[in-house]
Structure 1
Amino acid sequence: MSDVDMPRHNALPATAWLAIGAAALGGMLYGYDIGIIAGALVFMKPALSLSASEMSLIVAAVLGGGSLATLIGGPAADRFGRKATLTVAGLVFIVGVVVTAIAGGYSGALVGRLIQGIGVGLITIVVPLYMVEVMPPAVRGRSVTLFQLCLTFGILAGYLVGYLFNHSGDWRAMFATALIPAAAFVLLGLALPKSPRWLFKQGRTDEARAVLGRTHGPAEAETTFAELADQTDADAAAGRWSLLPAPGYRKAFFLALAIGLLNQLTGINTLLQFNTVILDQSGLGSGAAAVLGSVTVGLTNFVVTIIGLVLIDRVGRRPLLIIGTAGSAIALVFMALVHVLTTASPLQGYATLAGLIGFVVFFAIGPGIVVWLAISEVLPLAIRAKGMAVALFANSLMSAALAAVFMDIVALAGYAGAFALLAVSVLLYLLVAIFPLPETKGRKLEEIERHFLGGEHG
């Protein structure tokens, strides 16, 4: 499909805009959960008498809960539907926020954060899955990557709320502020239509045709429906786990799995959560400079993601991922060299801040904006939900593992060694972007599916 054929934004039906709103709120909740803990933890420590290891586990609890949720989210989305699972995800998140905000000690806070993690994990798999199956091809990239944009906004909002509550130290209120967007997310979820592709898999073809008519133009809805009818056979529609490594499906599955793993091995979540510590120990100081440095990193992440959102359906997924991984690797090598050639000082601190900003710029324009879209687009319909579950489970598990060992790596090899190891991982990601990843810009999901199913035999 050429750019000339693409519908303009104002031509999108109201139902499509409703889905976009839900994706925006889902991304914001995920990001807010990452950002708010940085400010809250400072005040939770004395209030709940937390040890250093207990603080680490409270941070990791969300990642652990998210790992579990991503593994069960795909089967749940297949069994109960994308819409139902999306709504439940919002309700689980609300429960987690309430439990955390009223916690009287370490155990309560840990349980609350675990529940929040389950809610966030469900959101991370079901929102991109739902969006990629509902939105027209011409705007699918921008619609799905809006999730990532709002995720970065959520991180920034979490940092800023932490700063605003810094004077009062009311960490319970910090968490409670998330209830407003979470409630809006649930209400939007209830108003959304079911995924037309899920309806088709259930044999509810008339409903699927009706939903396509509400989210696509009339002509495009009919052609998409016809392609769905031609594409699905009885064996594939069952969506069994055994299909993941089966001939015809394994190439797409292992590509999605590699993207999920390598996206976290860039170190993005670890660097975002530890950036204040990194800047402090690099010599920037623990006062306003380090705090403002963290906010600057968060703001950069948000602004550059907006640029990526504009480019994703114009430039394409693959070029952005190549540029982003190459630039991220260079930024990590730069920070490694800074820590080899200098000692902790304002010079090293500001140079590290510059490296972090550069890393975030390239991550946001490449891996950050592409990851959810690439994983959801390359997987054929028969394995999409379960394949995304495994890929995002691996993504979350790698995030938790890297966060758990990052400071140990720093203790053994210094920041120079830690940044160098991350750079090697990003270079592997670059190779994946150059070779096996196809360009999916403007292509229907059924066309992408034929690329993979027709490219592997035996």
Structure 2
Amino acid sequence: MPETATPPALDALARYNRRLLWVASLGGLLYGIDVGIIGSALPYLQATSGLNGDQLSIVVAAVLLGMTLSTLFAGWLADAIGRRTLMILAGVLFVASIPIIALAHGYAPLVSGRLLEGISAGLVGVAVPLYLAETLPAAIRGKGTAMFQWLLTLGIVLAAAVGMYFSLRVAEVAKLGDAARLLAFKDAAWRSIFWVSLPPGLVFLAGCFFLEESPRWLYLRGRRERAAAALARSRNAADAAAELNAIAASQTEERERKQRRKESLLQRKYVLPFVLACVILVLNQTTGVNSIIQYNASILIQSGLSDLAAHRGYIVFTLVNFLATIIGMMLVDKRGRKFLLTLGTAGAVIGLAWAGTLFWMNQRHEVRVTAAVQALVTPNQSLALRFTPALAHQLAPAITGPASLSVIYSYGGYRAATPVLRSDQTAVAPVVITRAASLPSNRVLAFSANPFGSLAAARRAPLKIVQATLTPLPSAAWGWLTALSLFFFMASFAVGPGIVVWLALSELMPTRIRSNGMSIALVLNEAASTLIAAAFLPAVGEYGYATLFFLFAGCTIIYFLVALFWLPETKGKTLEEIEGFFHPRRAGAAQ
């Protein structure tokens, strides 16, 4: 029996769709690198930079702030210059940000580079899901958007793998017993971790030049022939013609509506999907997922694991995320968005409550050493802390084993916190608290730090230790139990919210408000993520990990209820059919 050959036209369609899927979804890889790379670099940056906890939190959160800022205008840019062009711009900014970070010496260039990296990620977060939703056929749109999330998780895995490699190298250098050499190697390690992320950005940037622009955007701009040609690259002739007619009908209806009257955007069909998408995106961040990813190695170190074991735990954590995302990809177009989101949020609540309980059980043994640390303050109102076993015993003689120390301090109305220190870590630069390093350098920064504070008074105020807490370090077995709870959380999140959030963003928004609606929703998403990341280390110092994990669990319960009672099922529906869910008249006609 002769073999049936694939028609050349169909083969070309399949090749182009594969290229479209992979290149566009590489944006997810960059997004994942942006989110995950700091998790690998942070322990070494913390050990060598001399930055305090607030400054380290800002370095972490700068990416998220950049995402927030860029999503403010990303929707407008997507409409003005096109989805593909916006993806190219995002690639350029990502490539430019890496040398700024890797060559940085000091706080300001670090924050600047991370901010630029975040702006790139924010543009990717709007442009790529929008491009995939408007370019892919309905039958594979769920797979395409899930692939964006899959490569996002792969980016986090690759960042963790690079961190694991340098953790092994650090362990080898540590065996030599040369503290100065070890400190220098840790400084080189975090810089190298950022350099390694440059090649994927170059591949994404180059690949975008080989893609067609979004046919919906082209049609909206009056380029009908280009729109038809773009559709023909990814669909057979009949499907391309049918979709072009659907786009034309949608645009005709929109023009007629505008001619009849200035239609209010406060109608039910616009407000409900917009509010629902915004709520889902904000709740997605209040699970704490980005902070748990970015601070993962640091969390595991404080749970009782060694530096090397924590990086091993982090790479397992990212692999769990990666594999669970594959499972979610296989299920998203079979079981539907609503089922996965409900299942995933329920599991995430269990994982967060589990981790919170483990930290709470250990925090019951903490000792307040505020007065003892205050006694170490020098006459010039500064403090240099190298947290050794001897100092731990001096501060709390009852604690005989390894311990962790967190210090919250203030000059006048301006508070800050040190990173959480471990007494058993070697080759860590001392934490130096001085007035010059702790206070804002000008009134604008002072106002943002504390609108009610007086910078002039703070420059004369003594150093006050607000709170110093010493906690016995748990055993390694306890640390792995904590890691297991985070693995369970990540698996649950990846199967459900991790995939569904991007679909909710691109599918729920009606065509008329999709670009700007996605931007506003992403601004809220990134703003929530930025606030959580910026407050994470100071909140850990003041309240402990247990309180944060319980807070995240409470927010995720609300997320579960929203998914269960308010999210409509959108699998297998065209974008126009999904609009019918929120437009009673059109929904009835469709039935």
Taking structure 2 as the reference length, the TM-score comes to 0.71
Alpha carbons 1:90, 1:186 under 8 Å: kept? yes
> In structure 1, what is the equivalent of residue 30 of structure 2?
29
> In structure 1, what is the equivalent of residue 83 of structure 2?
82
C-alpha displacement of 1:157? 0.7
User: What is the rounded CA distance, in whole Å, between the counterparts of 2:264 and 2:69 in structure 1?
Assistant: 21
> In structure 1, what is the equivalent of residue 40 of structure 2?
39
Of 333, 341, 350, the match for 2:480: 350
Alpha carbons 1:159, 1:295 under 8 Å: kept? yes
C-alpha displacement of 1:202? 1.4
Q: 1:220 to 1:35 in 2, by over 3 A?
A: same
User: What is the rounded CA distance, in whole Å, between the counterparts of 1:244 and 1:58 in structure 2?
Assistant: 38
User: What is the rounded CA distance, in whole Å, between the counterparts of 1:134 and 1:183 in structure 2?
Assistant: 23
Name the aligned partner's letter for residue 417 of structure 1: T
Of 299, 306, 319, the match for 2:339: 319
> In structure 1, what is the equivalent of residue 215 of structure 2?
196
> In structure 2, what is the equivalent of residue 107 of structure 1?
108
Of 546, 559, 576, the match for 1:446: 576
Would you say 1:257 and 2:386 are equivalent positions? Answer: no
Would you say 1:380 and 2:510 are equivalent positions? Answer: yes
Alpha carbons 2:580, 2:586 under 8 Å: kept? no
> In structure 2, what is the equivalent of residue 215 of structure 1?
234
User: What is the rounded CA distance, in whole Å, between the counterparts of 2:235 and 2:94 in structure 1?
Assistant: 31
Per-residue CA deviation, residues 69-92 of structure 1 (Å, 9 max, x unaligned), is 112111100111101111001001
Alpha carbons 1:82, 1:126 under 8 Å: kept? yes
> In structure 2, what is the equivalent of residue 183 of structure 1?
202
Structure 1 unaligned regions, length at least 5: 1-8
Q: How many equivalent pairs are there?
A: 446
- Aligned positions of 1:200-349 closer than 5 A: 200-232=219-251, 233-234=254-255, 245-282=266-303, 284-341=304-361, 345-346=474-475, 347-349=477-479
> In structure 2, what is the equivalent of residue 160 of structure 1?
161
> In structure 1, what is the equivalent of residue 377 of structure 2?
none
Alpha carbons 1:97, 1:175 under 8 Å: kept? yes
Alpha carbons 2:356, 2:550 under 8 Å: kept? yes
* Bigger shift: residues 188-197 or 41-50: 41-50
Alpha carbons 1:245, 1:253 under 8 Å: kept? no
Q: 1:237 to 1:317 in 2, by over 3 A?
A: farther
Alpha carbons 2:54, 2:534 under 8 Å: kept? no
Alpha carbons 1:252, 1:379 under 8 Å: kept? yes
Q: 1:337 to 1:53 in 2, by over 3 A?
A: closer
C-alpha displacement of 1:297? 0.8
Alpha carbons 1:243, 1:383 under 8 Å: kept? no
Name the aligned partner's letter for residue 66 of structure 2: G
Alpha carbons 1:317, 1:441 under 8 Å: kept? yes
Per-residue CA deviation, residues 20-78 of structure 1 (Å, 9 max, x unaligned), is 11233111111112222233334445665534333222111111111111121111001
Instruction: Give the 3-state SS of the residue equivalent to 2:544 in structure 1.
Output: helix
Instruction: Give the 3-state SS of the residue equivalent to 1:452 in structure 2.
Output: coil
Q: 1:236 to 1:54 in 2, by over 3 A?
A: farther
Instruction: Give the 3-state SS of the residue equivalent to 1:319 in structure 2.
Output: helix
Of 530, 551, 559, the match for 1:421: 551
Instruction: Give the 3-state SS of the residue equivalent to 1:373 in structure 2.
Output: helix
* Bigger shift: residues 144-153 or 349-358: 349-358
Per-residue CA deviation, residues 225-265 of structure 1 (Å, 9 max, x unaligned), is 11112222127799xx9965444211111011011101001
Structure 2 unaligned regions, length at least 5: 1-9, 170-184, 364-472
> In structure 2, what is the equivalent of residue 56 of structure 1?
57
User: What is the rounded CA distance, in whole Å, between the counterparts of 1:450 and 1:65 in structure 2?
Assistant: 35
User: What is the rounded CA distance, in whole Å, between the counterparts of 2:263 and 2:30 in structure 1?
Assistant: 33
> In structure 2, what is the equivalent of residue 390 of structure 1?
520
User: What is the rounded CA distance, in whole Å, between the counterparts of 1:50 and 1:237 in structure 2?
Assistant: 55
C-alpha displacement of 1:414? 3.4
C-alpha displacement of 1:12? 5.0
Name the aligned partner's letter for residue 414 of structure 1: G
Instruction: Give the 3-state SS of the residue equivalent to 2:105 in structure 1.
Output: coil
Name the aligned partner's letter for residue 335 of structure 2: V
Larger Rg: 2
User: What is the rounded CA distance, in whole Å, between the counterparts of 1:335 and 1:456 in structure 2?
Assistant: 47
> In structure 2, what is the equivalent of residue 366 of structure 1?
496
Q: 1:45 to 1:358 in 2, by over 3 A?
A: closer
* Bigger shift: residues 212-221 or 322-331: 212-221
Per-residue CA deviation, residues 351-390 of structure 1 (Å, 9 max, x unaligned), is 2212111101100000001111111001011111111101
Q: 1:45 to 1:334 in 2, by over 3 A?
A: closer
C-alpha displacement of 1:418? 1.8
Alpha carbons 1:251, 1:456 under 8 Å: kept? no
User: What is the rounded CA distance, in whole Å, between the counterparts of 1:101 and 1:448 in structure 2?
Assistant: 45
Alpha carbons 2:54, 2:538 under 8 Å: kept? no
User: What is the rounded CA distance, in whole Å, between the counterparts of 1:235 and 1:243 in structure 2?
Assistant: 14
Per-residue CA deviation, residues 254-295 of structure 1 (Å, 9 max, x unaligned), is 01101110100111011112222222223x233322221111
Name the aligned partner's letter for residue 324 of structure 2: V
Per-residue CA deviation, residues 116-172 of structure 1 (Å, 9 max, x unaligned), is 110111011110110011001111011111111111111111111122234354333
User: What is the rounded CA distance, in whole Å, between the counterparts of 1:456 and 1:406 in structure 2?
Assistant: 46
Q: 1:409 to 1:53 in 2, by over 3 A?
A: closer
User: What is the rounded CA distance, in whole Å, between the counterparts of 2:258 and 2:291 in structure 1?
Assistant: 38
Name the aligned partner's letter for residue 124 of structure 1: G
- What is the RMSD of the two structures over their aligned residues, measured on CA atoms? 2.4
Would you say 1:96 and 2:97 are equivalent positions? Answer: yes
> In structure 1, what is the equivalent of residue 21 of structure 2?
20
C-alpha displacement of 1:15? 2.5
User: What is the rounded CA distance, in whole Å, between the counterparts of 1:214 and 1:449 in structure 2?
Assistant: 26
Taking structure 1 as the reference length, the TM-score comes to 0.91
